[in-house]
Amino acid sequence: MEDSTRRPNLTKPIRCIVKLGGAAITCKNELEKVNEENLEIVSSQLRQVMITGSGSQKVVGMDWSKRPGKPEISCDVANFENQTLLDSSSFVVVHGAGSFGHFQASKSGVHKGGLHKPLVRAGFVATRISVTTLNLEIVRVLAREGIPSVGMSPFSCGWSTSDRKMTSADLSLVTKAIDSGFVPVLHGDAVLDELQECTILSGDVIIRHLAAYLKPEYVVFLTDVLGVYDRPPSEPDAVLLREIAVNEDGSWSVVKPALHNMNKQVEITVAAHDTTGGMVTKISEAAMIAKLGIDVYIVKAATSHSLRALCGEVRGTIPDDWLGTIIRFVDKEIAST
């Protein structure tokens, strides 16, 4: 089915699309619990790279709502009197659900469709309550760092699928927000599906779609591990794959390090509750982004390595002391000349 995405009309280029992995920003073994320490570090790093001149100014928060444990709302208007409007670089943030949403979706079978079933319809509502709760919390933490972030839900923006494949995505609100100086924060969501009535649209698919139309300079996946390994990283002798080359047909191969058995398949594990495909989806979507000529960096969140990736420092030659995985397109015709 034809993709009816409305083409964006941006007045300035997009620098980076950032994916906040659910496992990195939530406590995956505790239902609906945010990893506050990681999220605050990630937000601080995003402020450093998003806002020009942010290091020389006091952070003026934009979360003017009551917080748990605080007696009143924090809002000092005087802080803005001498505050210059900082230049927010063109960033878009997309986050996964982690310990939010997956439980509700898997219990009800929302990802399999069937809104005519009472359990699925209830699960659709419950899933959206959960993922939008996380979205609001992330927006609030970013806002407290002075990042002018606005939450955007794919369902509310009119995004939809057919047989779980994206068919419609109105990017007009996203582009208007960017041009107005805001940082859109999107998330994996429960959406309507033309054939099976409903499904789950993962954050990784959303990123690939945004990358195709917004054409960012690079994409960063922030995860709970250093990058992509040749097997589950918890296993002994697991090897971090530092560079993966993507071919024109979408196939990919490991460039660095040189594996002894090049025919060996990279082993992937997916959590039983994950309704969006886990690392399998992440690599395949990253490869599709790389095919567009956009480098993808997969790196551990809240580390010096993630800050360097967000800054764009690892573009081109990979620094020897940088730990992460770069997935990039290799034009064989150019490479052979």
Per-residue pLDDT, 268 = 44
Tell me whether residue 208 is in a domain: yes
Q: What is the pTM of this model?
A: 0.90
b/e burial code for range 238-274 (CB count within 10 A of at least 16 → b)? eebbbbbbbeeeeebebbeeeeeeeeeebebeeeeeb
For residues 92 and 216, is the Cβ–Cβ distance under 8 A? yes
Q: What would the two tokens of residue 310 be?
A: 């967000």
Indicate if 21 and 110 belong to the same structural domain: yes
Per-residue pLDDT, 68 = 80
Sequence-ordered list of residues with C-beta below 8 angstroms from that of 286, at least 6 positions apart, any chain: 204, 219, 221, 296, 298, 327
Per-residue pLDDT, 263 = 43
Q: What would the two tokens of residue 144 be?
A: 């407290």
Instruction: Look at strands 240-241 and 295-300 and give their pairing.
Output: unpaired
Per-residue pLDDT, 220 = 97
Nearest to 141 by CA among 25, 275, 256: 25
Q: What would the two tokens of residue 79 be?
A: 């802080």
Last residue of one domain, picked from the residues 216, 251, 272? 216
Distance, in Å, from the CA atom of 203 to the CA atom of 206, rounded to the nearest integer, reads 5
Distance, in Å, from the CA atom of 113 to the CA atom of 138, rounded to the nearest integer, reads 28
Block means of pLDDT (10 residues each) for the chain, 337 residues, are 60 91 93 97 94 69 85 78 71 96 95 97 98 98 94 95 90 92 96 96 91 95 90 84 89 82 48 45 82 95 98 92 94 54
Last residue of one domain, picked from the residues 181, 216, 251? 216
Phi, psi of 62 (to 5 degrees): -120, 10
Per-residue pLDDT, 289 = 94
Tell me whether residue 186 is in a domain: yes
User: Which residue, chain included where needed, has tokens 């960063």?
Assistant: 220
Rg (CA), the chain: 20
Tell me whether residue 123 is in a domain: yes
User: Which residue, chain included where needed, has tokens 């320490």?
Assistant: 37
Could you give the number of structural domains in the chain?
A: 2
* Structural domain boundaries, residue 335: 225-337
Indicate if 12 and 111 belong to the same structural domain: yes
Per-residue pLDDT, 15 = 94
Indicate if 183 and 243 belong to the same structural domain: no
Last residue of one domain, picked from the residues 190, 216, 242? 216
Indicate if 204 and 315 belong to the same structural domain: no
Indicate if 159 and 285 belong to the same structural domain: no
Per-residue pLDDT, 81 = 77
In sequence order, what DSSP letters do the residues of 185-242 get, joined into one string? Answer: EEE-EEEEETTTEEEEE-HHHHHHHHHHHH--SEEEEEESSSSEESS-TTSTT--EE-
